[in-house]
Amino acid sequence: MKATQETAPEALNVVDPCVLALRDEILSGRLRPGDRLPSERDLAARFAVNRVSVRSALARLEAGGLLSVRQGSGYTVRSYLREGGPALLPAVLAQSDAAGQYAIAVDLLRVRRGLAVALLESLSERALSADSLIPLRAAIDTLAKAARSAEPMEVLARCDLEVLACLLTLSESTVLQLCLHPVVSVLHGFDALREAMYAHPKSNVLAWSAVLVALESGAPLDAVLLGPLLADRDAKTLARMARRANLSRGAR
């Protein structure tokens, strides 16, 4: 048993390069939907690993919606656009050029905007006690301190995510939490977009503070009016991102 525990981490590490290489070939289009993969034996030779490691890699790709398997026919590439999920977004982002990354940013903000409206609709239907809002108030205060201290973008993003996490907890919506977190996590890991989002962090604090005041007073959160406001905010974020990209290209 002891020997198995010592060798397990090394065995898992061997699988990762296989997964990443095949995943990138699928996402880049070098392997297209319907293509059959080489045999496990050939893949093992290509990656210089044993067939057990190859089988583990293929199982992970199958679980991620990138491959299908049929007894006697081997593994076939599936359409990741139809079968994949948000977990693939970081890899898609990494393979995109500047124009592709901008397009992804547009869609990420659009999805987040729709989920934010749904979240506020959910909160407006709940009777929240003063005590239940204490964690939210503390999270906003922490974000405000980070903004005043001009903390790095990573810190601001982490504080902002904590505010969002508090709101999701208050909503008690399993669906919203499972849908929103993957999108926001990808968005906050997108360096160019993150820098544009937190160029003026005090505005983020003001927006969250307005939500807190409404929740404390019991005033309805007008999700219908919120949509256009969020759309305007996102448009400014994208404009900042585009300007910085242009400056960056010009500097080269």
DSSP string, 149-194: TT--HHHHHHHHHHHHHHHHHHHT-HHHHHHHHHHHHHHHT-HHHH
Residue 62 has pLDDT above 90, yes or no: yes
CATH number, domain of 21, equals 1.10.10.10
Give the per-residue pLDDT at 228. Answer: 81
Residue 21: CB atoms within 10 Å: 14
Same domain, 211 and 232: yes
Same domain, 127 and 38: no
- Of 84, 114, 135, the position where a domain reaches its end is 84
Same domain, 129 and 247: yes
- Of 66, 84, 102, the position where a domain reaches its end is 84
Are 96 and 28 in contact, with CB atoms under 8 Å apart?
Answer: no
Q: What mean pLDDT comes out for the span 14-34?
A: 93
- Structural domain count of the chain: 2
Q: Chain-wide mean pLDDT for the chain?
A: 86
Give the per-residue pLDDT at 168. Answer: 93
Same domain, 94 and 217: yes
Same domain, 215 and 103: yes
Same domain, 231 and 219: yes
Same domain, 173 and 247: yes
Are 136 and 144 in contact, with CB atoms under 8 Å apart?
Answer: no
Are 84 and 64 in contact, with CB atoms under 8 Å apart?
Answer: yes
Same domain, 70 and 109: no
- Of 84, 99, 128, the position where a domain reaches its end is 84
Residue 76 has pLDDT above 70, yes or no: yes
Same domain, 79 and 91: no
129 to 134, 135, 166, 173, 238: CA distances (angstroms): 9, 12, 14, 17, 37
Structure tokens at 218: 């019991």
Residue pLDDT, tens place only, 126-180: 888 999 999 999 999 999 999 999 999 889 999 999 999 999 999 999 999 898 8
Same domain, 66 and 150: no
Same domain, 52 and 169: no
Strand ranges inside 55-103, DSSP E: 67-70, 74-77
Same domain, 95 and 179: yes
pTM: 0.77
Helix axes 174-188 and 98-124, enclosed angle (nearest 10): 150
Residue 22: CB atoms within 10 Å: 25
CATH number, domain of 201, equals 1.20.120
Range of the domain at 23: 2-84
